[in-house]
Amino acid sequence: MINIPNLLSGLRLVLAPFIVYGIATGRNALALVLFAIAAITDLLDGMIARRFNLATVFGERLDPIADKALMSSIILALGFSGAAPWWFVTIVLGRDVLILIAVGIFLVFAQAQRFRPSVWGKASTLFQIVVVALLMCAKAFRWTGLSSFVAAAIVASAALTAWSGIHYAWRGVAMIKKR
């Protein structure tokens, strides 16, 4: 179903390659502005869907796909541009790939058709967004004085990301065992 929240989620998907293009071509201010717009659409889609009772099954599936496509492509682009360390890129993308595989297995072997995000998954996503925003700001504004702060944020985000992956695996195994 086409409605405003679903269009906002779709807009995030459309913006992702333009943000990557901005990062790849050194148009860092453009990439940052587009990322800010994407972040606003992420805040608005859920809020509008809940407030006006516009939630749909399509939207429930599109929103996390748009979020993952956006964040994964940006983190990958930041890795290729040298702004994000490859160990961080590997942890984030590795966890996401493992979750996709696990959810696929879960949907085949478990009764439930939904695998809700956990508090740890939401926390890791928030930290990833903060890290991406910091890295993009550093590139756009040529910040150099925050390197130890950014490094600490990257380590915290990586730790939360790894923990959330472990937590998702634990939840998935527990749900399959209940079956």
Q: What is the CATH number of the domain that holds 38?
A: 1.20.120
Q: Are 81 and 152 in contact (CB under 8 A)?
A: no
Q: What is the pLDDT of residue 113?
A: 61
Q: What is the pLDDT of residue 115?
A: 67
SS (H, E, C) the chain: CCCHHHHHHHHHHHHHHHHHHHHHCCCHHHHHHHHHHHHHHHHHHHHHHHHCCCCCHHHHHHHHHHHHHHHHHHHHHHHHCCCCCHHHHHHHHHHHHHHHHHHHHHHHHCCCCCCCCCHHHHHHHHHHHHHHHHHHHHHHHCCCCCHHHHHHHHHHHHHHHHHHHHHHHHHHHHHHHHC
Residue 142 domain boundaries: 4-178
Cα separation, 12 vs 37, in Å, equals 8
Q: What is the pLDDT of residue 41?
A: 96
Query: At which residue do the structure tokens 């923990």 appear?
Result: 163
Q: Are 23 and 89 in contact (CB under 8 A)?
A: no
Q: What is the pLDDT of residue 103?
A: 74
Contacts 24+ apart (CB under 8 A), 141-150: none
Residues of the chain scoring pLDDT < 50: none
Tokens of 105: 């297995």
Q: What is the pLDDT of residue 169?
A: 84
Q: What is the pLDDT of residue 112?
A: 60
Split into its structural domains, the chain has a count of 1
